[in-house]
Chains A and B, each alone.
Chain A
Amino acid sequence: QKEVEQDPGPLSVPEGAIVSLNCTYSNSAFQYFMWYRQYSRKGPELLMYTYSSGNKEDGRFTAQVDKSSKYISLFIRDSQPSDSATYLCAVEGSQGNLIFGKGTKLSVKP
């Protein structure tokens, strides 16, 4: 079992839709959870950084962590064509490294 699992999609939604992106992880010891956005042929951009369980909101983005089910989510409200990108979830491993999912490719259609 991989340490972080993420459905690669692709996911296509109309402009203005609420997008839900999800990951599961295997190790209950993970404490820090991240979401990155990556445009084609660019480096990942940190979107959300959360500690332990709960919600964190930043503008149109909400990150949610449920440690009891080892489930992390990113919600995007009022999605825009400029949100079209690959979204990567990550956890911080015991070595200080990040462990990433495969990424979900999102397309928001005007």
Chain B
Amino acid sequence: DTGVSQDPRHKITKRGQNVTFRCDPISEHNRLYWYRQTLGQGPEFLTYFQNEAQLEKSRLLSDRFSAERPKGSFSTLEIQRTEQGDSAMYLCASSLVTSSGEQYFGPGTRLTVT
């Protein structure tokens, strides 16, 4: 296994459009996390899944954001009606339940909203 992968790596979209990102975690990891990182800041937690159940959501996750992990494997993060303030790096991480702080990150999807 080569680690967490994310697709696409870069996305440029116009304001008001919908975008969807995909994350494939490390295969034996049952927890999957989404974070957002803006320039000069550390990553900020958005939400996480344990298997297919979405267990926690940050208040940063507005109703324009939705995440799914339908079969407990890969996950998607959709942003509807994008705004310029959504421009950021979207990071996915995965871990085992037994060592949930030991999270391994993917390369990120850089979103630019014009």
Contacts and interface: CB of A to CB of B under 8 A. Distances in A.
Contacts of B91: 43-44
Interface stretch (B12-20, B69-77, B78-86, B97-105): B97-105
Interface string A75-95: 000000000000010101101
| Contact residues on A (Cβ < 8 Å of other chain), bracket | 20 to 34
Contacts, number: 67
Interface string A10-50: 00000000000000000000001010100001111110010
A97 B56 contact: yes
A41 B42 contact: no
Contacts of A36: 105
Contacts of A32: 101
A59 interface: no
A74 B58 CA distance: 28
Interface residues of B, number: 28
Contact of A103 (B6, B42, B45, B101): B42
B43 interface: yes
Given A45-B105, A46-B102, A92-B101, 6 more contacts: A46-B105, A92-B100, A96-B56, A96-B100, A100-B42, A100-B44
